[in-house]
Amino acid sequence: MTRDVSLISFDFFRSTDSRLARLAKDDHLHCDTTLSEGCARCRPKTFSICCDLCNPEAFQYLNFKITPKEKQPGKSQIKGFKMTEISQQLQTDLFDWRDEKAITKFPRAHVEDFGGGLLLSDQHIQRILQCASCHKLSNIEALLKETHWRKDWADELGESLLSVIHQHYPPPSIPSISTEPAAGPSRGSRGPMKCSKCRETGHNGKFDFSPL
């Protein structure tokens, strides 16, 4: 009468585990007591490095200076923004611009997997639309202040990004400043001195200003 295959497999693995357990037990019990430093298997492992006091040179790579993060300027408060046809056109162009430029900063496979938001996030684009509608993005300094974009990317790609923005929202023109001095208010010529008592000219009741 044949035994079930599953029972045979179970007996095999059970007997194998028992033999391995006995071997491990026997190996542990048969330590080499002839070694003065102890059994090679059971003795505590020694380390060449103790601590930063005994081996300070081993921990020099951990000595780094934490540079405090520079405080960024506050953004302008923009309320009541609504998407217009111009804003929608700018949004489309910004999406195209970031997909084109993201390939120059990241591997193409990363851009295909994660999108152009690696370079310019959707939050950045929304902020650009708000500020552009109020003509607050006239230069790279204003772009950094209003969006808190990475400075190295702004220095490299800021002019290209601003050119896309200014196609839809041109910066306001700066009025010309005249170098000619402004004419002051004209002052009327003062009349002759007149006395308040006799109403005659040439004196004021105390001093006589009439010609000799």
pLDDT tens, position by position, 121-157: 999 999 999 999 999 999 999 999 999 999 999 999 9
Check residue 10 and give its pLDDT: 47
Q: Structural domain tally of the chain?
A: 1
* Mean pLDDT, the chain, whole residue set: 79
- Point out the least confidently predicted range of 46-60, 89-103, 107-121: 46-60
| Residue listed under structure tokens 């001195």 | 193
Looking at mean pLDDT, say which of 13-27, 53-67, 79-93, 187-201 comes out highest: 79-93
Q: Identify whether 111 is part of a domain.
A: yes
- The residue with greater pLDDT, 27 or 83, is 83
* pLDDT cut 70: percent of the chain above it: 70
Q: Is it the case that residue 65 has pLDDT exceeding 80? A: no
DSSP one-letter string for the chain? -PPPHHHHHHHHHHHHHHHHHHHHHHHHHS--TT-TT--TTTSPPP-S---TTT-GGGGGGG--PPPPPPPPPPPPP--S----HHHHHHHHHHHHHHHHHHHHHS-HHHHHHH-GGGTS-HHHHHHHHHHHHTT--SSHHHHHHHH---HHHHHHHHHHHHHHHHHHSPPPPPPPPP-SPPPPPP-PPPPPPB-TTT--BSB-SS-B-S--
Check residue 46 and give its pLDDT: 76
Check residue 5 and give its pLDDT: 46
| Residue listed under structure tokens 């994660």 | 114
Q: Identify whether 108 is part of a domain.
A: yes
Cα–chain-centroid distance for residue 100?
Answer: 21
Q: Identify whether 180 is part of a domain.
A: no
pLDDT tens, position by position, 8-43: 454 555 555 565 555 555 555 567 777 777 777 777
Q: Identify whether 103 is part of a domain.
A: yes
Q: Identify whether 132 is part of a domain.
A: yes
Residues 147-168 have a mean pLDDT of 94
Q: Identify whether 159 is part of a domain.
A: yes
Q: Identify whether 194 is part of a domain.
A: no
The pLDDT-based confidence of 59 (bands split at 50, 70, 90) is: confident
Check residue 49 and give its pLDDT: 85
Domain that holds residue 145: 85-168
* Backbone torsion region of residue 31, taken as left when φ is above 0, otherwise alpha when ψ lies between -120 and 50, otherwise beta: beta
141 touches 132 (CB < 8 A):
no
The pLDDT-based confidence of 205 (bands split at 50, 70, 90) is: low
Q: Identify whether 63 is part of a domain.
A: no
Check residue 187 and give its pLDDT: 58
